Structure 1
Amino acid sequence: MTDDPSDPTTPPRTADAFTADSPFTLPGFFAALAEGDLLAAVCADCGTRLLPPRPACYACGSRNLRTEPQPRTGEVATYTEVRTPPPALADRAPYTVAVVELDSGARLTGRVTAPYDVLDIGTRVRLTTRPPDDDELAMARDHEREWPIHEFEPV
């Protein structure tokens, strides 16, 4: 691992080195996603993939991490139907949310563009992104308003 603070693929080592555009922060993760890059942190010590990336591994505590591009395809690991959503999304209920295991082994949670009753564990899906609509913008915090919405669609 390099200690080069200008290398965006390695986590910052000090609080002063962290900036919002680092891919190891949520704003940085969503900025990369908006540009078409799905990035995970990969721990060099234990191999855990962290998605969204974090500056330290939640499996072993190591800071020996690098960001790596991830595939946009995977399988539904588990899923549920949301029947009581936040008020701004009430007219969309019910909708489906899944934990998807990407082909790399990383896992990401997101909405699925298919009804609950057509999914199964193991359904193949692909990650898509789109700008937030008015209802989603109404729920977003100021710093989240530019973040793309990520959804999975069956393939």
Structure 2
Amino acid sequence: MMTETVRTWRHIPQRYNLTGSKCLQCGNVFFPSRIICPECRRKGKLEELKFSGKGRIHSYSVINTPTDEFKDIAPYVVAIVELEEGARVTSQIVDCDPDSIEIGDEVEMVFRKVREEGEDGVISYGFKFKPKT
């Protein structure tokens, strides 16, 4: 069972890449991917888009009192990042002092551990962002 879970998880490209979609009709970009453009409806044709992973902090919050699952890493920053391509994603900001973060700071995507399920469980990885150096 465990082998099957790991195999399935590794075949999901969105787990390893920051991907979304772009409407070829109006040019809007979306994260996560969509199958229909909300602007163009059926007239729009969407294609997969791999984002650069670079962006700026649009808004953020410092979490000082987290749930039990995240108490070991508090305080930490959760932000809305506006990617260079225009889409916005919500992500944790890592490798920084929470007091040093400001709106407009440049950030870049990194691949990090998100959580571990149980003592002997599967470790989940995903994207987070860190300040650009």
TM-score by structure 2 length?
A: 0.74
Which amino acid in structure 2 is aligned with residue 49 of structure 1?
V
**Can you give the 5+ residue segments of structure 2 that lack an aligned partner in the other structure?**
1-8
Aligned to 1:19: none
Q: Distance in 2 between matches of 1:70 and 1:34?
A: 13
CA contact (8 A) 1:34 1:129 kept: no
SS of 1:46's equivalent in the other structure is coil
2:56 aligns with 75
- The residue aligned with 2:3 is none
Task: Letter of the 1:116 partner, please give it.
Answer: P
Match of 1:148, SS state, is strand
Distance 1:33 1:95, change over 3 A: same
Which position in structure 2 is the counterpart of 1:108? 89
Residues 40-59 of structure 1 aligned to structure 2 (within 5 Å): 40-59=20-39
Q: Identify the residue that residue 96 of structure 1 maps to in structure 2.
A: 77
Change (3 A) 1:120 1:66: same
- Where does 1:31-46 land on structure 2 (aligned, <5 Å)? 31-35=12-16, 37-46=17-26
Q: What is the Cα deviation at residue 77 of structure 1?
A: 0.9
Q: Name the CA shift for 1:119/1:146 in 2 (closer, same or farther; >3 Å).
A: same
Residue 130 of structure 1, CA deviation:
2.2
Instruction: Specify which structure has the higher proportion of strand.
Output: 2
Distance between the aligned counterparts of 2:114 and 2:60, measured in 1? 22
How many residue pairs were aligned? 120
Q: Which residue of 1 aligns with 2:130?
A: 153
> Which amino acid is 1:148 matched to?
Y
Unaligned runs of 5+ in 1: 1-26
Q: Is contact 1:125–1:154 with CA below 8 Å preserved after alignment?
A: yes
TM-score by length of 1: 0.65
Q: Compared with structure 1, are the counterparts of its residues 152 and 117 closer, same or farther at alpha carbon in structure 2 (3 Å cutoff)?
A: same
CA distance in 2 between counterparts of 1:102 and 1:39 reads 11
How big is each residue's C-alpha offset from its partner over 1:2-24, in whole Å with a ceiling of 9 and x where there is no partner?
A: xxxxxxxxxxxxxxxxxxxxxxx
**Tell me, what secondary structure is at the counterpart of 1:96?**
strand
